[in-house]
Chains A and B, each alone.
Chain A
Amino acid sequence: DVQLVQSRGGLVQPGMSLRLSCEVSGFTFNDYSFNWLRQAPGRGLEWVSAIGPKGDRTYYADSVKGRFTISRDNSKATLYLQMNNLRVDDTALYYCTPMALDYWGQGTQVIVSA
């Protein structure tokens, strides 16, 4: 069975940092690109970032460029999202998925509030 197990989130103050992780199993992790998506409370889905299979190609939404960094450790089949200088409008449920959106993590709640 394919599983994407995401780290627990947290409540942080504006300007602080948080790192999300997503451990993948039952899947040939190294062969695939992955996304981070997010869903603000009561809102729809927003693409945040993507990374190629080798980790050498990364892409970001304008809203997070320069603040978030996506990475992966293929030896651990784990995807990461380093979020710096967090803002109140980054508050959302964050999901990791392969590029095709065929499997989803359970979501990580990130709350940014003073």
Chain B
Amino acid sequence: DVVMMQPPLSPPVSLGQAASISCNSSQSLVHSDGNTYLSWLHQRPGQPPRLLIYKISNRFSGVPDRFSGSGAGTDFTLKISRVEPEDVGIYYCTQSTYFPRTFGPGTKVDIK
């Protein structure tokens, strides 16, 4: 199975500051169809996860434009340009290029 790796914690950020979360995969996530099926999820305490980004950099409907995704191959990054209070929680990267879908362990984001 593809192993997804994330740091467990992101350095605490102040409100309005930028945050960046990294994700690495054990093999390239480029599918034979040319797409890279790497998504980002956000989970607030006590809530189900919600989809933020799909195919590396596409924001899901209703996701604020302060969230952006980038990367290629095995290295990916989620950036929050200006952190707001509701952005705290755990961020997961996940791949569905290969079966079975696998998830990173999650990165916790806290406000300083």
Physical interaction between A and B? yes
A74 within 8 A of B: no
- Count contacts on A: residues with CB < 8 A to the other chain: 16
Q: How many Å from the CB of B21 to the closest CB on chain A? A: 14
Partner of B48, one of A99, A100, A106: A106
Q: Which of B94, B101, B102 has the most CB of A within 10 A?
A: B101
A47 touches B100 (CB 8 A): yes
Q: Which of B2-46 contact A (CB under 8 A)?
A: 39, 41
Indicate whether A100 sits within 8 Å of B92 (C-beta atoms), given known contacts A47-B100, A61-B100: no
B100 touches A101 (CB 8 A): no
Indicate whether A101 sits within 8 Å of B48 (C-beta atoms), given known contacts A44-B103, A45-B92, A59-B99: no
Which chain A residue has the least Cβ–Cβ distance from B106? A44
B103 touches A45 (CB 8 A): yes
Q: Which of B66-112 contact A (CB under 8 A)?
A: 92, 94, 96, 99-106
What A residues does B102 contact at CB under 8 A?
A: 47
Q: How many angstroms from the CA of A45 to the CA of B50 in the assembled complex?
A: 12
Q: Which of A86-107 contact B (CB under 8 A)?
A: 95, 99-102, 104-107
Q: How many Å from the CB of A23 to the closest CB on chain B? A: 16
Contact mask for chain B residues 44-59; partner A; CB cutoff 8 A; 1 contact, 0 none: 0000111100100000
A100 touches B54 (CB 8 A): yes
Contact sample, A vs B, 15 pairs, CB 8 Å cutoff: A44-B92, A45-B92, A45-B103, A46-B103, A47-B100, A47-B103, A99-B96, A100-B39, A100-B54, A101-B39, A101-B54, A102-B60, A104-B48, A104-B49, A105-B48
Binding site for A on B (CB under 8 A): 39, 41, 48-51, 54, 60, 92, 94, 96, 99-106
Q: With A59-B99, A101-B39 given, name 20 new contacts (CB 8 A).
A: A44-B92, A44-B104, A45-B94, A47-B100, A47-B101, A47-B102, A59-B100, A95-B48, A99-B96, A100-B39, A100-B54, A101-B41, A101-B49, A101-B51, A101-B54, A102-B60, A104-B48, A104-B49, A105-B48, A107-B48
Binding site for B on A (CB under 8 A): 35, 44-47, 59, 61, 95, 99-102, 104-107
